[in-house]
Amino acid sequence: MYCRNPSRQSGAALVVALLIFALCAALLVSIEKEGQLFYQRMANGFQGQQTYAYLLGAEQLAFNLLQLDNELDAQTEVPRDTLMEVWAEQSPPYPLDEGGYLVGRLEDLEGRFNLNTLVGNTGATDSSALTLDQRIFVRLLLTLGNEDGPLLDRFQAVAIVNAIGDWLDGDNNPRSNGAEDLVYQSKQPPYRAANRMWVSPSELMAIEGVTWEIYQQLAPLVTIWPDDGGKINIHTAPAQVLQALPGGEQLEPKLASDVQMLVEQRDQLGFGSVDELLQDPFFAENDRAALQPLLTEKTNTFLLMAEASVAERPQQLYSVLSRKNGQFRVLTRVQGTSL
């Protein structure tokens, strides 16, 4: 008869026990890691929702400032929206209970050039065939540059204006030096002309002739709100927008040194009315009647740029706010990427 060796049996049992222990330990480690990941995901989600709630709170704070501005304007003889008002001030970061912060800034979108005015005519090869808004935009394009000089010449700037007209109109017939589907379908990846009004200013990057450098310089100077075109607020317009206004049928913008003097005058003394501004020698006599309907002293559309941080995780929110006829509403909002 064969007798098993007790020592071998106990050794095998020990090995099995060790294997079971190792498996249990590995399982416990795995469960612990999964639990930590689950908890971290839950915490991140909660913190993200909390941060977003703070950002929405920044919108309400902005509306409160704009309402205060309405009340102050009601006490003045000539209501104006200028860079000296409370809504335009850069506020310090507001500390949050969790050790984070909330900060925001309002910018007047109606000081910018409105791209909705560029549908214009069916195409132009010279300045006399361009609309007034198209000529202003050509001059605005010609103010863009770097250390090597202007980014565009007149021919290229007019071509971009016509390409924008093709992007916005409802047909597929290219304007002179413009661009429709045939041009865009040859790109990689191919796409089509929108043939509708703007959804986002970033659509400029899809326009034939607009490079990344052109877009980066142009973005702070243009807007698509309000969508009915709107006017340019003389008190908040960037220097390059003011530089592009005068010129009649000429396509060359004013000198940067000339507009700098005008901006310094605005910063120190402010502008009077639109009519008073147009009497400045910066504007030629034949500019005044044409530009007067395009300019204003009031604003109804603002861009809120807000940032909130909770647990050292900052988030940004960009909101387009409308203030019209005593009503306040959010036209659009985007997280993380500027409009």
pLDDT at 42 exceeding the cut of 70: no
40-74 CB burial, b ≥16 within 10 A, e <16: eeeeeeebeebbeebbeebbebbbebbeebeeeee
- pLDDT (tens digit per residue) in 59-88: 999 999 999 999 999 999 999 999 999 999
**CATH number, domain with residue 279:** 1.10.40.60
In a domain, 15, yes or no: no
> By the 8 A CB rule, do 314 and 47 touch?
no
* Pairing verdict, β 295-296 and 232-233: parallel
In a domain, 153, yes or no: yes
Specify the 3-state DSSP secondary structure of 125.
coil
- pLDDT (tens digit per residue) in 280-308: 999 999 999 999 999 999 999 999 999 99
> By the 8 A CB rule, do 214 and 152 touch?
yes
272 plus 146 within the same structural domain = yes
Residue 66: name the closest of 292, 320, 339 by CA: 320
How does DSSP classify residue 334? E
Mean pLDDT value of segment 5-30: 68
In a domain, 189, yes or no: yes
Overall number of domains in the chain: 2
147 plus 286 within the same structural domain = yes
In a domain, 24, yes or no: no
> By the 8 A CB rule, do 179 and 166 touch?
yes
36-45, 155-164, 182-191, 281-290: which has the minimum mean pLDDT?
Answer: 36-45
* Pairing verdict, β 313-324 and 301-310: antiparallel
100 plus 210 within the same structural domain = no
148 plus 286 within the same structural domain = yes
Give the pLDDT score at 72.
Answer: 95
127 plus 266 within the same structural domain = yes
Burial (Cβ within 10 Å: 0-12, 13-18, ≥19) of residue 182: exposed
Written as one letter, the residue type at 128 is S
171 plus 270 within the same structural domain = yes
Percent over 90 (pLDDT), the chain:
76
How does DSSP classify residue 121? S
Q: What is the H or E stretch that residue 51 is in? A: helix 6-73
171 plus 73 within the same structural domain = no
Give the pLDDT score at 236.
Answer: 98
> By the 8 A CB rule, do 297 and 235 touch?
yes
171 plus 274 within the same structural domain = yes
- pLDDT (tens digit per residue) in 110-151: 999 999 999 876 555 556 689 999 999 999 999 999 999 999
**CATH number, domain with residue 47:** 3.30.1300.30
Query: Model confidence at 20, in pLDDT bands (50, 70, 90)?
Result: confident
Q: Nearest 5°: phi and psi at 145?
A: -175, 175
Burial (Cβ within 10 Å: 0-12, 13-18, ≥19) of residue 257: exposed
Please calculate the CA angle 336-61-90 and round it to the nearest 5 degrees. 70
Return d(Cα 10, Cα 14) in angstroms, integer. Answer: 6
Q: Nearest 5°: phi and psi at 150?
A: -60, 150
In a domain, 32, yes or no: no
**Region label for 269, one of left (φ > 0), alpha (ψ between -120 and 50) or beta (otherwise):** alpha
**For the chain, how many helices (H) and strands (E)?**
9, 11
102 plus 117 within the same structural domain = no
Give the pLDDT score at 121.
Answer: 66
pTM given for the model: 0.86
* Pairing verdict, β 94-95 and 101-108: antiparallel
131 plus 99 within the same structural domain = no
- pLDDT (tens digit per residue) in 192-229: 999 999 999 999 999 999 999 999 999 999 999 998 88
125 plus 274 within the same structural domain = yes
Mean pLDDT value of segment 19-28: 72
Give the pLDDT score at 165.
Answer: 94
Count Cβ atoms below 10 Å from residue 290 Cβ, excluding itself.
16
> CB within 8 A of 22, min separation 6: which ones?
none
- Residue span of the structural domain in which 212 resides: 113-296
In a domain, 276, yes or no: yes
- pLDDT (tens digit per residue) in 258-270: 999 999 999 999 9
Looking at every residue in the chain, the average pLDDT score rounds to 89
216 plus 313 within the same structural domain = no
Give the pLDDT score at 222.
Answer: 98
Considering all CA atoms of the chain, what is the largest pairwise distance in Å, rounded to the nearest integer?
126
